[in-house]
Chain A
Amino acid sequence: MPKRIQRLRKILERPVVEGFKPYGVSNTEQNEKPIILLYEEYEAIRLCDYKMYNHLQASEIMNISRPTFTRIYASARQKIAKAFAEGREIKINGGNVYYDSSWYHCNTCSCYFNNPNIDEVIIKCPLCGSQDIMSDNCSPVSQEELVDDYDDYCICPNCGYEKKHRYGEPCNQLICPQCNSFMRRKRIF
């Protein structure tokens, strides 16, 4: 069965940093992989906990449904909590997002600007006239990379058998290998 197509999430601007690093970690070896926080997850935290919008208002801003927003938000909080508890680095990257309009960044005067007229091609910064500008877009991250960051489990309601949820595989169609009953998603929130 083909994967359901995810609706693009609208974000207002790109995050101000590319990530966060822990300090004072006892084992100096950086063997742990960084946790990848998606742009939409960053935006969910920003809208909800920083701008103090409720889930419904925030979902309207991001142009997604309220339940989808809540799921993104829950996943964002879980990732951040995981990074805190395990002392791992957070990288803000990727995700299925688009900006409210196409944004550009000028490398000379470090300003951000948008292009309101799509027919026109922007070749220089409207502020300082420098041609050293770049388009502000993000690169998508494959789902496989993300699997470890977000603990999502399928559980058998009958015997309690658990397995890690795989993306694009509906739990309610899986059969428990121990007692042959249908599994379901274990909700941790």
Chain B
Amino acid sequence: MKIAITSTGNSLESNIDQRFGRCAYFVIYNTENKAIEFIPNPNKDKEAGAGPAALQFIASYNVDKVISGEIGAKVKSILDSLKIQMILIKESEKKLKDIIEMLNH
């Protein structure tokens, strides 16, 4: 199962990014082989429609879950129809390594 996490930087020490569409990096974590992949968000500085564009980008990786701080109205409805589970973490100081550790419960 693949899980996308929004990140502020490209290391495991970075914090989770509270924004979805304009996050700095996406982290694709594969629960089966524990592979972690950092992908820079190409739509970071897009003026409008960053959310749906980011979603399209992330959906091409066939993720099953998305972890972020907040997800906008447009994206939520698309994620719902794609049956991708959303997990919202409201603490901005949460480190990526802690999240991945939690996912390995």
Contacts and interface: CB of A to CB of B under 8 A. Distances in A.
Nearest to A101: B80
Interface string B1-45: 000000000000000000000000000000000000000000000
**A interface, over-half SS:** loop
Contact of B87 (A12, A16, A111): A111
Contacts of A61: 73
**B interface, over-half SS:** mixed
A100 B80 CA distance: 8
B83 A113 contact: no
A111 B67 CA distance: 10
A114 B65 CA distance: 10
A128 interface: yes
A12 B65 CA distance: 18
Contacts of B99: 127
Contact of A113 (B73, B88, B102, B105): B88
Contacts of B80: 100-101, 114, 116
Interface residues of B, number: 21
B59 interface: no
Nearest to A130: B105
B88 A116 contact: no
B77 interface: yes
B58 interface: no
B72 to A, nearest CB: 9
B55 interface: no
A161 B95 CA distance: 64
Interface residues of A, number: 19
A139 interface: no
A44 B72 CA distance: 15
B79 A112 contact: no
Interface in B50-105: 65, 67, 73, 76-77, 79-80, 82-91, 99, 102-103, 105
A113 B87 contact: yes
Contacts of A110: 90-91
Nearest to B74: A61
9 contacts: A16-B90, A110-B90, A114-B85, A114-B86, A116-B80, A116-B84, A116-B85, A126-B87, A128-B102
Interface of B: 65, 67, 73, 76-77, 79-80, 82-91, 99, 102-103, 105
